[in-house]
Structure 1
């Protein structure tokens, strides 16, 4: 018999299902007739997921301990509530785990929201100081690179595609094709926004045109693909052609940081058609824009770009029609 006082765990697969079909719903986490209402909200005003915790008569919402988490006061079901959200949509899967840990401390540990959040962040800090496999941005990025790898293989064969995937070897760009290079950027944002890592990432190599493949993904629910499924699919298809190429691909995926033992329950699908454009049409920073006397002293530049205003260009080096995740 289940314990009626046990904390009601909410599985990520359930949350992802509602996000995938864009349907909002509410899950109460506090027991019936509890003095303090705690609820998990999905699709809350387009904000993805949120945790609501009822405030006491003279209680104010606590300050957020992290810049990626916001806490505000809202009216909900006739009650004054603190709402906890994240500003980082790509971290939603990890944020879900944090919300559940905070809610557990509030419901079963009788903590106030501020203390529960601080304790959870402190408890996770030791784990976060150690590498935990691929981060959320890199997992999404690898998924996009594997999708482009599949498109290259469809045109040139798996052996040539594996040779072309240079990003796994730490090269400047993700794919080196016979006559041009391709940089792949994948985002889960509704806007076509991407982070550029380094001032040379969108610079052409001498004598080689550079193209940017911009991909958008969204949570796909039961119809989506996990990164693990895509990894297995490309390895299977490569081995079917050549065991040597298959082994090289497995080594490349291993170098990328992917491990079959890490958390893998996020399911993705394409949000829309990919965009493939020459780098010189993209808003970008290059070394030539820096004064000559400071170029050797600027060690790292990361910045975000928005490409909503661009459309696909003719003459692309890889065909991304009928494009899908592997």
Structure 2
């Protein structure tokens, strides 16, 4: 066979070869748009004629899922992750697996995970179980590298900035920045006159908050401690990213003076904010304002709850407290947090 004939066959083979699938792209902003509006949506990720792989946004903003069709030779993936659930389902006569997360607050991260799984199936041609295992293995190898602030801290900073901007409107930026003592390593977020304030922010329907240490809900001598439970929900296009809140706060501080913005920047840095690692999750308040409680009137653990033999020997206590449906404190709180908004 001559060179010309070989070249002709190679060219014919290139023509007959199906085009290589493109990497899967589904921006989080698109998904968040539907979540924020409570609308369902379905995106087919695999080519027509291939086993179905689809990305599903449930209605009422309840969550997202990856549907993967299984052929006779395919096995269903098994999840070693408590936050990822794999269910076998029948859909229009197709044998499918459905990947969902048991942690609604982790939807943004779960979105990245299932797109990585889908990419391995659709683009790389992996079987579903192998695609899932490879993705989990790869992500596990990177657990030591944070993508930025963890979700709990991002939401917490949202809430603290909301309070900071509210305080700046009543006592000025100098007083508000003096009051924001959390980034300096103090036990409580704000020191206000003769009282302290701890604000916790959650994206869950129940007011469940993680408390770090026995001192976080313990009063300083002679200073009553107030606790604010602030709930947010995904806001879609009308919501605020943490970057939006930071920019709004910095712009407001800059209007007060260069010194105020410089001081705010130092506090933001101490709080863990990195402008080079912004997030794209948008949030909006779920309620007209936070639930405000006196710390002494809510469930909590303090050093006084430890037996005497444990004092000085137990460190790093972390627990979750649920304050859903508790009665708000009676009387004026140290700061007006009614109708609290993200900056």
Q: Give the TM-score, by structure 2 length.
A: 0.90
Change (3 A) 1:263 1:103: farther
Offset, 1:72: 1.3
Distance in 2 separating the partners of 1:13 and 1:222: 8
Offset, 1:88: 1.8
Offset, 1:46: 6.3
Q: Structure 1, residues 194-217: CA drift from partner, whole Å, max 9, x if none?
A: 111112211111111001111111
Q: Structure 1, residues 59-110: CA drift from partner, whole Å, max 9, x if none?
A: 5422103221111112223212111111222221111111111100011112
The gaps in structure 1 that reach 5 residues or longer are none
Determine the structure 1 residue equivalent to 2:333: 316
| 1:260 correspondence with 2:275 | yes
Q: Structure 1, residues 227-275: CA drift from partner, whole Å, max 9, x if none?
A: 1111011111112113212211110001111111114211110011211
In the alignment, is the contact (CA less than 8 A) between 2:35 and 2:62 conserved in 1?
A: no
Determine the structure 2 residue equivalent to 1:304: 320
| 1:43 correspondence with 2:83 | no
* 2:21 match: secondary structure: coil
Change (3 A) 1:234 1:17: same
In the alignment, is the contact (CA less than 8 A) between 1:65 and 1:118 conserved in 2?
A: no
Determine the structure 2 residue equivalent to 1:207: 222
Offset, 1:45: 8.2
| 1:82 correspondence with 2:97 | yes
Q: Structure 1, residues 118-176: CA drift from partner, whole Å, max 9, x if none?
A: 21122233432124321111111101110011111122111100111011111100001
Determine the structure 1 residue equivalent to 2:254: 239
Q: Give the TM-score, by structure 1 length.
A: 0.94
In the alignment, is the contact (CA less than 8 A) between 2:34 and 2:57 conserved in 1?
A: yes
| 1:192 correspondence with 2:207 | yes
In the alignment, is the contact (CA less than 8 A) between 1:47 and 1:85 conserved in 2?
A: no
Distance in 1 separating the partners of 2:30 and 2:92: 23
Distance in 2 separating the partners of 1:125 and 1:4: 28
Change (3 A) 1:192 1:17: same
* 1:120 match: secondary structure: helix
Distance in 1 separating the partners of 2:60 and 2:167: 40
- Tell which structure's C-alpha radius of gyration is larger: 2
| 1:163 correspondence with 2:178 | yes
Please tell me the root mean square deviation across aligned C-alpha atoms, in Å.
1.7
Number of equivalent positions = 323
Give 4+ residue runs of structure 1 displaced > 4 Å after superposition: 44-47
In the alignment, is the contact (CA less than 8 A) between 1:44 and 1:50 conserved in 2?
A: no
* 2:309 match: secondary structure: coil
Offset, 1:58: 6.1
* 1:128 match: secondary structure: coil
In the alignment, is the contact (CA less than 8 A) between 1:159 and 1:242 conserved in 2?
A: no
